[in-house]
Structure 1
Amino acid sequence: MPTVPSGGDVLRRAISGQRRDVAVGSLLGAAHQAGEALVPVLIGVTIDRGVAEGNLGALLTLLAVLAVVYVGLSFGFRFGARAGERAAERAGHDLRVQLVERVLHPGGGTEDGRLPGALAAIATEDARRVGAVNMAVLSGLSALAGLLVGAVVLLRISLPLGLMVLIGTPVLLWLGHLLSKPLERRSEAEQERAAHASGVAADLVAGLRVLKGIGAEAAAVARYRRTSRDSLAATVRAARAEALSSGTVLALTGTFIAVVALVGGRLAAQGDISLGQLVSAVGLAMFLLGPLEVLSWVTTELAQGRASAARVAGVLATPPAVAPASGRPARPVRGELLLRGVTHGGLRDLDLRVAPGEFLGVAATDPADATALLQCLSREADPAAGTVELDGVPFPGLAPAALRTAVLVAPHDADLFEDTLLANVTPPPEPPGDDGPAADVYAAMAAAGMDEVARTAPRGLATPVSEGGRSLSGGQRQRVALARALAAGRPVLVVHDPTTAVDAVTEARIAAGLREFRRGRTTIVVTTSPALLAATDRVALLDGGRVAGTGPHADLIRRHPGYRAAVLS
């Protein structure tokens, strides 16, 4: 997976990827601006030849030419703007696709140090701002073309006026660039704060039920209020910088135009230029205000685009959490797992063997040890020391995506999607190299106790599920998530606390169904539930980061005080 070392690379790729639309839009925009610059000239010629000389034929002809020019201006602006907007939207879309691909990459890594809401803000607002740079570039080139045509015409009308524009315009652009520097810094801070606020909001909404359950709504609101105020302060600072930059550039531009008009008036009074040329000069001076304002806007857009591009680049360039590999599990997968000297998080020199087809329970006295074990088995992270092997092949030698076709780790907090109950369980199309068709969906539902959920739902399996499964109770969500994991039919399945929100009767039924459904295939249940552990072939007790004891559930209950404390307390 290629990395992006800088925001400048992101900007260049966003523009070069849309070069056709940018080129077409720039040409049409330049033609529009050139036409706009020629309008005052045509009006001046009309005054000199049609009005001052009293030539009705010339007057009508020049008016007809003006009408044709205005029609051309309308179409040029319309199609040029369309090309620019198309380039901006496509560039933003391409960036969003790249960001989503990076976030979903099997190697992971983008979530470290970032809240999900922050990643969403980068993939939406920052990607949009980078894409909008295409429109800014197009508009800037068009404005420069208008300035160039206006300067050339002014040189033909009067050398002093033309020289003023040619010298004054670069100075104004340089000043605008200097004024955009504080805006770029403050825009970056604004986006960082806004993304953090979005992340905090998403985090709080996801845990709303838990917050209500423990009565922490006030603390959550206070936390978000502080974060929101920080974001508001950063936004206000960025808005002030933008207002200062735009206002100063506008004031300098207005002064410049006034000086041009004053010099043109003096030349006309001295007889150096005609009345029509004076009208053309004043009209051109007023016209130049437009391109210069556009250039001021372009500097603002580029400043914000550079800040957003740096944030996008930070995500795209994030190294994977696990080293890349190209190996694939041997087929068929026997399902033997071996952990040797694994040190990760709270785990310390952990040794554990899971035989092919074994139904193993893992009870951890510290929930952090269970989390660390799941990270190693799902290869979200490689251990600091030791190895994890599948059928004798170390995990680092297997491509993460290929490994997950053989080993599925179903987390405790699995998300559901906005669709029907059935669609949330039905497996996706088989990935290349999979062992064969997935398990029977309806048998998986029965094993997970989801058939009861379907029977009580208003429309059965066709009942819609809201985003995140919020229309279901906690126990219903767990059963749907477990049914989905079972229906995937992986040779090795690891589930984490799949029944914490169901009643004891349902839990006992799920334990029996899980054992029967997974018979002959390697299954690991990481839990402290006595009902689930009693259904396993063997239980491994994790205490202090190591295996403190193994054996059948009943045997450990009888002889191991630490196990009794972890499971029965």
Structure 2
Amino acid sequence: MPSLNSLPFSDPGRPDTRSGPRLLIWLELGQWRGQVASAAWGTLHMASVACFPAVVGVAVQAVVDRSGTRLVLAGAVLLVLGVLTALGDTMLHRTAVTNWISAATRVQQLLAAKAVELGAVLTRRVAAGEVVAVSTGDVEKIGWFVEALARFTSALLATVGVAVALLVYEPELGVVVAASVPVLALSVLPLLPAATRRADLQREKGGRATELAADTVAGLRVLRGIGGEELFLDRYRRVSQEVRRAAVHSARMWATIAAVQVALPGLLLVGVAWYGARLALDGQISVGQLVTVYGSVSFLLFPLQNFVEIAMAWSFSRPSAKRAARVLALRRTDVDGSEADRVAMETAADGNGAAHTDGAGPHKAPLTGELYDPATGLRAPSGLLTAVVCGDPDAAGRLADRLGGHSPVAAEGEPSALLGGTALDTVPLATARSAVLVHDKDPVLLSGTLADLFDVPSSGRVSAPAALAAAQCSDVLDALVRSLAGEEAGSGDAMRARIIERGRSLSGGQRQRLALARSLVADPEVLVLDEPTSAVDAHTEARIARGLKEIRAGRSTVVFTSSPLVLDRADRVVFVHDGMTVAAGDHHELLRTTPLYRAVVTREADERPEEEGGAGGEAPGADRGDTSATAGTAPGTRDDMSMEEPA
């Protein structure tokens, strides 16, 4: 049985994600030693407590018979039973908590690994609020069921044992008890379906409330900018009241179940006491036997409580396990080495790149070469700055993820992107990540110092100051220096300044530039940037474009943008429309030869074919704001008008 000192697990295993119950079974089997130990200690505890009525009955009968020897022996046995009860209870609690924490930790490690594996794709497939609910409350419910099952097993063994012992010890009363115990244990079964439905509804509404809260907090600054705080507050109030009503509705059913579990055993206890007293008065049983039977029936109230608990644990953990299984089922395409070799060789034969034929498999050597997407026909030559213009921002985001090999299995039918002829979905995740870094359009800045922000795996070729300079972060550094307090204030070292959660103290443009600098420090073989300058002004954007090309010289860079300032600096521009590459070449050449490209880049809606125009004739991407060199955009326009102002 693993101890808490061994956590976290070096390998949490491969979960069975076909359904929620299968995930629970996998967790139970994965720590069967702990379950057996917990059930064994629980059985010792239950057996010790169950023996008390028999020994007390002997002691009472010894007093009646005036037998001092038997009374002393009964007292000694009671002392031993007390020690065993304490030992069993202590170890049961220890092993049960260990099982609970171990199961919860295993699921949390799996969820963390899944988040790392999928990256930004995760929140596109599953709502952020649901991910939070699974990794917090659902994990606890799953752990609860895992540890409660062992205690239920020991309670079941104790209940059966006491019923059988009563049949042997006092057949007349034993028959009554043995016939009543199954009725008591199964009496709540008709109520469980309704209780489960109410619990599921409560969890569903609670998950919705969590999602709404997470979305509201994430967009709070935007809500303040448009004056929508009260609207979302009213919405959250309504949702929270629905959760409250569902919780009360569910609690009433569980209260009814608990009342049944108290009332029926109480009636049995009254009946046994009355019938036993009649037998004792008739001389058919002794006083000691009556005390033993009465005490044994009283004991049965104790393990029967575990029957209610396991029913509650199952009702709450089943939907939680279902949600966890749904998240854990998302994964990248997994292909073995031989299949990867075949894909790479066939790709090379088609002229899409050179396969690695060193005999060690395509993922053994570092991935280099041309980046190619078979789905769209997009090619990004090695060592060049390639700009991609895509009128649909959502399609651009999906294409960026695919170029990084991040597409999960659920993206059926989409071929993997290839780097140097090797399909990225066929290589180990670490290999793909080290070769291609995808810079999301909404990157997250973790809390910590600026030095912590740049403490990322990197080639060592690009220093933090160089990356900050290329991303035009001088004003950000000045602001961070002014924010220094205490001993750090005199140092003037911006790298010691703290960034709060998600960089909320910075403007949208400042956060975007710091995130870009972090990606530049990583210096991957291929860097994919999705709209890296959408929140900065035109003058800063022009300088960033120049710095990006200089610092990434000799490395492959793919930038998704429609800004002429960036496109003019690109070595090669690719225009993707309706999911296919329709033109490629120099920016100025495409402006002259491709009217649709010119319409997207310059926002000249009147030049676009009518069937391609949106509502009001706006070109795709028009919401980004005009960033052309001739648009007359004043410095600071986009950054200053950002909804996300400094706190």
TM-score bin (small chain): 0.7 to 0.9
Structure 1 residue 564 and structure 2 residue 577: aligned? no
1:263 Cα deviation (Å)?
Answer: 1.5
1:537 to 546, 564, 571: 571
Superposition pairs for residues 287-298 of structure 1, below 5 Å? 287-298=299-310
CA distance in 2, matches of 1:183, 1:387: 46
Instruction: Give, as a single letter, the amino acid of the residue that structure 2 aligns with 1:465.
Output: I
For residues 166 and 7 of structure 1, what CA distance do their matches in structure 2 show?
Answer: 35
Which of 143, 147, 171 pairs up with 2:183?
A: 171
The structure-2 alpha-carbon separation of the partners of 1:39 and 1:526, relative to structure 1 and needing over 3 Å to count, comes to: same
Can you list the C-alpha shifts for 1:332-363, whole angstroms capped at 9, x where unaligned?
Answer: 655423345x3xxxxxxx44433322222233
Change in Cα spacing, 1:508 to 1:62, as seen in structure 2 (3 Å) is same
For residues 191-228 of structure 1, the C-alpha deviation after alignment (integer angstroms, 9 at most, x for no partner) is: 23222321221122112212222222233234333433
Report what 1:422 is aligned to: 451
State how far apart, in whole Å, the 2-side matches of 1:325 and 1:468 are: 38
- Displacement, 1:159? 0.8
252-261 or 81-90, larger mean C-alpha shift = 252-261
CA distance in 2, matches of 1:225, 1:268: 63
2:503 is matched with 469
Residue 349 (structure 2) aligns with: none
User: Distance between the aligned counterparts of 2:120 and 2:503, measured in 1?
Assistant: 24
| 1:478 corresponds to 2:512 | yes
SS of the residue aligned with 1:405?
A: helix
**Is contact 1:7–1:311 with CA below 8 Å preserved after alignment?**
yes
Farther-moved stretch of structure 1 (494-503 vs 259-268): 494-503
Letter in 1 for 2:224: K
Q: State how 1:316-465 maps to structure 2 within 5 Å.
A: 316-318=328-330, 320=331, 322=333, 324=335, 326=337, 327=340, 328=362, 333-339=367-373, 342=375, 350-381=376-407, 388-395=417-424, 397-399=426-428, 401-428=430-457, 437=460, 439-457=462-480, 458=484, 459=488, 460-465=494-499
Q: Give a deviation string over 1:125-155, Cα, whole Å, max 9, x none.
A: 2222222223322222232333244334433
TM-score, with length taken from structure 1: 0.87
Indicate the residue corresponding to 2:346 in structure 1.
none
CA distance in 2, matches of 1:330, 1:155: 70
State the match for 1:42 in structure 2.
55
Q: Please say if residues 15 and 23 of structure 2, whose CA atoms lie closer than 8 Å, have aligned partners that are also in contact.
A: no
Cα pair 2:373 2:379 within 8 Å, conserved: yes
Return the letter of the residue paired with 1:188. D
How far apart are 1:158 and its partner, in Å?
A: 2.0
Instruction: Give 1:19's aligned amino acid.
Output: W
| Contact 1:335 1:492 survives alignment (8 Å) | no
How many Å separate the matches in 2 of 1:154 and 1:3?
Answer: 43
Structure 2 CA distance for partners of 1:336 and 1:509, relative to 1, 3 Å = same
Q: Distance in 2 between matches of 1:113 and 1:526?
A: 22
Aligned counterpart, 1:346 = none
Cα shift at 1:11: 2.1
Paired letter, 1:501: A
Letter in 2 for 1:450: C
CA-to-aligned-CA distance 1:61-105 (integer Å, 9 cap, x gap): 433432332232122211112111111211121122223323433
> What is the CA-CA distance between 1:387 and the residue it aligns to?
7.0
2:269 maps to which residue? 257
Given residue 437 of structure 2, which amino acid in structure 1 is its aligned partner?
A: L
Structure 2 equivalent of residue 193 of structure 1: 205
Pairing of 1:196-275 with structure 2 (within 5 A): 196-275=208-287
Alpha carbons of structure 1 residues 281 and 397: separation in structure 2 relative to 1, 3 Å: closer
Question: 2:402 touches 2:416 (CA, 8 Å); kept in 1?
Answer: no
2:348 maps to what in 1? Answer: none
Check whether the contact 1:88–1:131 (CA below 8 A) recurs between aligned residues. Answer: yes
CA 1:325–1:478: 2 relative to 1, 3 Å: farther
How far is 1:329 from its partner?
5.8
> What is the one-letter code of the residue matched to 1:380?
H
5 Å-filtered alignment, 1:539-558, equals 539-542=573-576, 545=579, 550=584, 552-553=586-587
Question: How many Å separate the matches in 1 of 2:412 and 2:91?
Answer: 57
Residue 21 (structure 1) shift: 2.5
Query: 2-side partners of 1:323 and 1:26: how far apart?
Result: 38
Gaps of 5+ in 2: 1-13, 341-361, 489-493, 604-621, 632-647
User: Hey, what does 2:78 align to over in structure 1?
Assistant: 66
Which segment is superposed worse, 29-38 or 233-242? Answer: 233-242
Q: Tell me the distance in 1 between the aligned counterparts of 2:107 and 2:262.
A: 33
Which position in structure 2 is the counterpart of 1:347? none
Residue 305, structure 1, aligned to residue 317, structure 2: yes
Q: Report the equivalent of 1:129.
A: 141
Alpha-carbon separation, structure 2, partners of 1:182 and 1:499: 54
Structure 1's unaligned 5+ residue stretches are 343-349, 431-435
445-454 vs 163-172, greater mean Cα deviation: 445-454
How far apart, CA to CA, are the structure 1 residues paired with 2:553 and 2:160? 79
Task: Name whichever of 479-488 and 374-383 sits farther off.
Answer: 374-383
Matched to 1:447, the amino acid is A
Amino acid at match of 2:27: A
TM-fit CA distance, 1:241: 2.5
Q: Does the C-alpha gap of structure 1 residues 564 and 151 become closer, same or farther in structure 2, counting only changes over 3 Å? A: closer
Q: TM-score, normalised by structure 2?
A: 0.77
Contact 2:58 2:70 in 1 (8 A): no
Contact 1:187 1:304 in 2 (8 A): yes
Contact 2:16/2:22 (CA < 8 Å) preserved in 1?
no
Name which of 163, 170, 173 aligns with 1:158: 170
1:258 to partner: Cα distance: 1.9
Residues 133 and 389 of structure 1: is their aligned pair in 2 closer, same or farther, counting only changes over 3 Å?
A: closer
Equivalent-residue separation in structure 1 for 2:518 and 2:84 (angstroms): 60
Deviation at 1:250, TM superposition (A): 2.4
Identity percentage of aligned residues: 34
Distance 1:134 1:365 in 2: 50
**How far off is 1:157 after superposition?**
4.2
User: Deviation of residue 481 (structure 1)?
Assistant: 0.7
Does residue 118 in structure 1 map to residue 152 in structure 2?
A: no
Larger mean Cα displacement after TM superposition, 75-84 or 391-400: 391-400
Distance between the aligned counterparts of 1:385 and 1:311, measured in 2? 26
Q: CA deviation at 1:35?
A: 1.8
1:265-312 Cα shifts (integer Å, max 9, x gaps): 211121111222222222222222222223222222233333333333
CA RMSD of aligned residues (A): 3.0
Q: CA deviation at 1:12?
A: 2.0
Pair 54,397 (structure 1): closer, same or farther in 2 beyond 3 Å = closer
Return the offset for 1:413: 0.6
Counterpart contact for 2:387–2:570, Cα < 8 Å = yes
**Equivalent residue pairs, number:** 553
**RCO comparison, higher one (Cα < 8 Å, 6+):** 1
Report if aligned partners of 2:167, 2:178 keep a CA contact under 8 Å in 1. Answer: no
Q: Which residue among 527, 547, 554 is the counterpart of 1:520?
A: 554
CA gap of 1:398–1:38, structure 2 versus 1, over 3 A, is closer
Amino acid at match of 1:16: L
Determine which of 4, 12, 18 is the counterpart of 2:31: 18
Deviation at 1:410, TM superposition (A): 0.3
Map of 2:292 onto structure 1: 280
SS in structure 2 at match of 1:412: coil
CA 1:274 to 1:388, structure 2 compared with 1: closer, same or farther past 3 Å? closer
Decide whether the 8 Å contact of 2:15 with 2:26 is kept in 1. no
Report the secondary structure of 1:273's partner residue. coil
